Amino acid sequence: MIPNKLTPGYNVRWESSRMMLPEHREQLLKERSKQEEFTPPILDNDQLEEINRIIIISMEQKQEVIITFIEKYGPAQFSGWIQKVDRYERWIRLDNDQDTLLLFFKEILQIDFL
């Protein structure tokens, strides 16, 4: 029996869509290479002290901050108010009008006042 579009398990109509043009393949490979995993920089003691200072001031004065943190494919930013800092488990919680973010200290790259 020759399969046709009505044969169970076969869909002859879409068989040709499995092929890919060379231009599409190149574009797909470019997109995948752009999404290489991000390797974060190592922060020195001065940068860590500056982050600590801004966190303390922001907590005391209820100032909004913008924080740059590590994500899989690159740095990301979030702005909000620091709600809680847990020094033992080493995380920080930020809130803004729309969302809440929980970050571990090791994920923080930079923090500034907004």
- pLDDT, one tens digit per residue, over 58-96 is 999 999 999 999 988 789 999 999 999 999 999 999 999
| Residue 15: per-residue pLDDT | 57
| CA distances (Å), origin 87, targets 40, 55, 84, 111 | 22, 12, 10, 17
With beta carbons less than 8 A apart as the criterion, state whether 93 and 82 touch. Answer: yes
pTM over 0.75: no
Residue type, 15: E
Bridge pairing between strands 108-113 and 65-71: antiparallel
Residue 85 backbone dihedrals phi, psi, to 5 degrees: -125, 125
